[in-house]
């Protein structure tokens, strides 16, 4: 069964929790990628292994779940380089459209701050224990 069909069988709440966006926004992104994909493959050639829907899901998994490209490549039965190219293509294609562009620096500098998010989680820094065995031995003077 097609991956997209499995995802669209989910409830709206579950879809948003897993994919990270609502179904209407996902459909807009998918339609945009379908048209770009069709234009890109007009000359013909070998049919691609991944559909635009798979590429979009792959990209959203990469950003939503912080999965490595190796794990995603195993899930979609393709090479890691394919995953990297696909994610890059989806990013470039969506950011070229005005509907999916993020505001630039000037929008942030208009004087009104709406929301600021800061990651302040603490991370323990692992350092080697300092003792006589692990430390650098001091030079001993050979002069008596």
For 134, residues 6+ apart whose C-beta sits below 8 A from its C-beta are: 128
Which tens digits make up the pLDDT trace of 74-107?
999 999 999 999 999 999 999 998 888 777 777 6
Alpha carbon dihedral 68, 48, 2, 89, in 10-degree steps, equals 50
Q: Is residue 42 part of a domain?
A: yes
Count the domains in the chain: 1
Domain that holds residue 23: 3-108
Q: What pTM does this model have?
A: 0.70
Q: Is residue 128 part of a domain?
A: no
Q: Is residue 103 part of a domain?
A: yes
Which tens digits make up the pLDDT trace of 33-87?
999 999 988 888 887 889 999 999 999 999 988 889 999 999 999 999 999 999 9
Q: Is residue 144 part of a domain?
A: no
Q: Is residue 10 part of a domain?
A: yes
Inform me whether the pLDDT recorded for 27 exceeds 70.
yes
Nearest alpha carbon to residue 89 among 4, 20, 29:
29
């Amino acid at each position: 069964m097609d991956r997209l069909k499995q995802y669209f069988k989910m409830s709206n709440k579950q879809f948003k929790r897993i994919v990270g966006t609502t179904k209407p926004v996902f459909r807009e992104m998918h339609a945009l990628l379908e048209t770009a994909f069709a234009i890109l493959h007009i000359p013909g050639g070998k049919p691609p292994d991944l559909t635009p829907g798979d590429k979009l899901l792959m990209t959203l998994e990469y950003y939503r779940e912080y999965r490595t490209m190796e794990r995603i490549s195993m899930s979609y039965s393709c090479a890691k380089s394919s995953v990297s190219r696909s994610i890059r293509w989806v990013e470039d294609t969506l950011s070229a459209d005005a509907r999916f562009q993020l505001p630039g620096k000037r929008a942030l500098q208009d004087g009104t701050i709406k929301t600021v998010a800061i990651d302040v989680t603490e991370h323990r820094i692992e350092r080697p224990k300092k003792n006589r065995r692990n430390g650098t031995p001091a030079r001993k003077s050979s002069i008596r």
